[in-house]
């Protein structure tokens, strides 16, 4: 059995990794100062990233703080619409560079956008299998509103669902 190929599409400072230089993983980040294996935009991966990955890790920006905040300095700054575009287009690119049956490990915090709405963005290419809330906290001091951080495992769809649902119809016809 060959070793799995892992692609981290939002490597950043590799905070989630026990082995920050895991030999099974290819680390991608758009910011050269993060020293990824490959400097690339996860929405438009170049051929040097390769194909045939078995597992993709994606921890996109979840919220937009001010451009000069500590969070923005650590994780980068994107507006709400830019985050939506990033999630949708990275889902497509992750699908393109993975093998049949590949998995996507996806981290999300619902402070600004619900988990349900984000899973719908991934839906054309990835099907959620299971997930776990890893943290829940107050959104802002003095607020009664809570936000939660989730880790979700998704599996690559055989046929991506297009906007009109043709692939879904084709899949239903196979049954």
DSSP conformational letter for 49: G
Q: In the structure, what pLDDT confidence band is assigned to residue 30 with cuts at 50, 70 and 90? A: very high
CATH superfamily of 6-174: Vaccinia Virus protein VP39 (3.40.50.150)
Q: Where are the domains of the chain?
A: 6-174
Q: Give tens-digit pLDDT for 137-161.
A: 765 666 667 888 999 999 999 877 6
Q: Which residues, 6 or more positions from 72, have their beta carbon under 8 angstroms from its beta carbon?
A: 65, 66
To which H or E segment does residue 70 belong?
Answer: helix 70-75
Q: In the structure, what pLDDT confidence band is assigned to residue 70 with cuts at 50, 70 and 90? A: confident
pLDDT at 138: 67
| Residue labelled with tokens 């059995």 | 1
- pTM (2 d.p.): 0.84
Q: Give tens-digit pLDDT for 91-112.
A: 999 999 999 999 999 999 998 8
Q: In the structure, what pLDDT confidence band is assigned to residue 164 with cuts at 50, 70 and 90? A: very low
- Percent of residues, the chain, with pLDDT higher than 90: 66
- How are the residues of the chain apportioned to helix, strand and coil, as percentages rounded to the nearest 5? 25, 30, 45
């Amino acid at each position: 059995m060959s070793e799995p190929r892992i692609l981290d599409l939002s490597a950043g400072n590799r905070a989630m990794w026990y082995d920050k230089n895991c030999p099974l993983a290819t680390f991608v980040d758009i910011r050269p100062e993060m020293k990824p294996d490959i400097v690339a935009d996860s929405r438009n991966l170049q051929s040097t990233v390769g194909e045939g990955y078995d597992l993709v890790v994606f921890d996109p920006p979840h919220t937009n703080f001010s451009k000069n905040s500590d969070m923005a300095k650590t994780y980068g700054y994107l507006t709400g619409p830019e985050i939506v575009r990033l999630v949708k287009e990275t889902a497509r690119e992750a699908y393109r560079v993975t093998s049949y049956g590949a998995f996507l490990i996806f981290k999300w915090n619902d402070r600004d956008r619900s988990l349900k709405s984000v899973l719908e963005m991934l839906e054309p290419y990835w099907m959620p299998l299971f997930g776990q809330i890893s943290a829940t906290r107050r959104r802002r001091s003095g607020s009664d509103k809570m936000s939660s951080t989730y880790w979700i495992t998704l599996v690559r769809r055989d046929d991506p669902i297009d906007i009109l649902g043709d692939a879904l119809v084709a899949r239903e016809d196979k049954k």
